[in-house]
Structures are given as structure tokens and as C-alpha cells.
A = this chain, B = another copy of it.
Amino acid sequence: MASVKVLLEGKDFKLTQARKALLDIFVNSTKPLSYEDIKSTLSMDKATFYRNITKFEEQKIINAIESHDKKRYFEIKAKSHAHFICTTCNSVECIKNGIYVTLKNYTISNVILQGICPTCNLANDKN
């Protein structure tokens, strides 16, 4: 888990309270988060949130995943890995057990799996 300080070294932008608080949340999360997910724990205007996310993406500090619920989910950029999106509960999970896909002439930068997560699968079995 990278520290906020290390992430910001040598980046050319101001170290504001908002940015430190934002990165702190992402550094301590095990899964990608949307603005919706964190707006209550973070008093920050959504314009500021999204502008900072854009900066972080430019600086390759943060990564975005588009879910099927029309929201974007963000995470600290780490070793490339796939993501699973549950179409029942909308959760987004990191899948770090090596899934590699290649395709001739294509450059693949992201693999997204959609389906039903273990929790929702279990809940379904009970009915």
C-alpha cells in the first residue's frame, strides 16, 4: 500500500488539504470507489473531486473503471489487473489472480468482467 507522500513526490501541483484527504481514502480502500461512495465522508464539492481525479489520472496516480451503472470508479494505480463488476449489487472488485488476455494487433489496457459476485450468488441460491 503506497503512502500518500510517496504518490505525490515530484508531481507538479499544489499539495492541498482536499488532495491529501482524497488520496488518503483511496490509499486505504481495497476496492475502487465512486464519488457517490465517498461524498458523505469527504466534505468536498463534486467539481473539486472530479477536477482532482482528472489531475491524478494525468499524473498516472489514479485509474478509472467505468461500471455498468453509469458511474466511474477510481483506485490508486497499481500493477495492472482485471476488475469484476456485479450486475446485481453494482460492486466493483479488483481481481488480482492473474487473468491475462491478449489479442493480435490490439493493445489491451483493461479487462472488465461482468456477472454475479459470490455474495449475490449465495443470496440467489437461498431463494
Given A66-B66, A70-B70, A111-B111, answer yes or no on A103-B116 (Cβ-Cβ < 8 Å). no
Does A2 sit within 8 A of B, measured CB to CB? no
Q: Which of A23-50 contact B (CB under 8 A)?
A: none
A114 contacts B110, CB within 8 Å? Answer: yes
Contacts of A110 in B (CB 8 A): 113-115
Which listed residue, B99, B108, B121, touches A107 by the CB 8 Å rule?
A: B121
Please give 15 more A-B residue pairs, beta carbons under 8 A apart, in addition to A97-B103, A106-B118, A110-B114: A66-B67, A70-B70, A84-B106, A87-B109, A99-B101, A99-B103, A101-B101, A103-B113, A106-B117, A107-B115, A108-B113, A108-B115, A109-B115, A111-B114, A112-B112
Instruction: Mark interface residues in A87-107 (1 if CB within 8 Å of B CB, else 0).
Output: 100000001010101010111
Cβ contact of A103, chosen from B87, B95, B101, B109, cutoff 8 A = B95
Among B66, B105, B111, contact of A121 (Cβ-Cβ < 8 Å): B105
**With an 8 A cutoff between CB atoms, is A68 at the interface?**
yes
Contacts of A115 in B (CB 8 A): 106-110
